[in-house]
Structure 1
Amino acid sequence: MTRRRFASGGDSIRLMVADREVVGHGINGRPIYFDSPDCPFPAIRYQEVNSKLCALREKELDDWKNLSLDEKKHSFCQTYAEFQHFTPEWKICLAVALWLVSVGIAISISMKTMLYGKLPQTFDDERQSAQLRRIIQLQMNPITGLSSKWCYQENKSNSIIGCHLKLNFSKAYTEVHSNCNVVYPNYLKYHQIKPCIPNEYP
């Protein structure tokens, strides 16, 4: 029932159209007036029919060159220049966007200064150096991890991991290279562990 009423127009559409003449399909098949460059022919007239418009309609049946500019504009709400004019609404949108960004930045700064504490000690260079030495000494993830790039026979890294360590852990890389020859043998001797040499793998 509702679908049939909507398809046939319905009371709401009749009230919206009123006494205006339906002249075409329009932008979406509904009898509404809308100025758009994509659909320059609205479905209904801009104004309701009156005696003045009836005389103008009779005049429009002849050559439109005889019509004045005001008479041509009388059938439409706006001209192309008017409804395509650049409106200042973008300023409001930009102002709201900048305001939201500034509020977000202010909240993040306030949370970083007042809510969050200092970084953990593991972010210090000394702790990173100790962690890196520990990873190499315990041979953590020897298949694809950091230990797989370390040559335990010569106690040094290859070129790939060396570049990575120099870029990300410059101080740790220096300390590992300077101390691994002493720390690693002592660690193995203390725990009675045989060094794992890649050449001995089957």
Structure 2
Amino acid sequence: MFVEQIDATELRQGDIIRGLFYPELNCSDLHLIGTPDLNSPNLTLNTEVQANLLALTDNKPKEGLTVLTAQMKVYYGNFILITQCCDIAKREKGKPNLSAFVISPLLEVPYPIRQNPAKLSQLQANNQGTYINFFYIPSHQHLSQDYVVDFNRVVALPRSQYDFVLSKKVLQMTDQQRVKFKLKLGSHFSRPTQEELDAQIYP
């Protein structure tokens, strides 16, 4: 599934990154640390949130969004790069043009699957028609166990993190496996609803 020698100069879709953080956002119960802009139409406060506010005045709006700092639970582990190679490729200034890139944590194979040989075999095949939201990643010298990528679990990192993430790259998919990965990823996000099929608006 992986090349013998990684390209340590660039990130590519399907790269395995060791040691990043995945945030768990509970928007209804988020401990904010900051001074909100009470005039912003994007922010409304209830008494539960107001009680958790602490003074911090250096947060300014960015890209039309109100900026706050929050304390939240994060998970640490291995990740896979979701963004396509052409988008994450370095440009003139040594960084990609896009403002952010997307990663997904590597998760342990769900118990009902790993305890059932038939289900596990289906998962390992990485076919588009089965386990549509999962992609199987086998154990490796740099991975202590088998993993799955859950396409429903993604997080965006800003472009400024490119070099840091690159320094954590430990594995790179072969071209053939990358195509398999992107086809399954695409089929997950582009699959039609029954309503769209019934209306005959899905190509």
Same fold (TM over 0.5): no
Could you state the TM-score of these two structures normalised by the residue count of structure 1? 0.20
Considering fraction of residues, name the structure with more strand: 2
Asked which structure has the greater RCO (Cα within 8 Å, sep 6+), the reply is: 2
Considering fraction of residues, name the structure with more helix: 1
Could you state the TM-score of these two structures normalised by the residue count of structure 2? 0.20
Larger CA Rg, structure 1 vs 2: 1
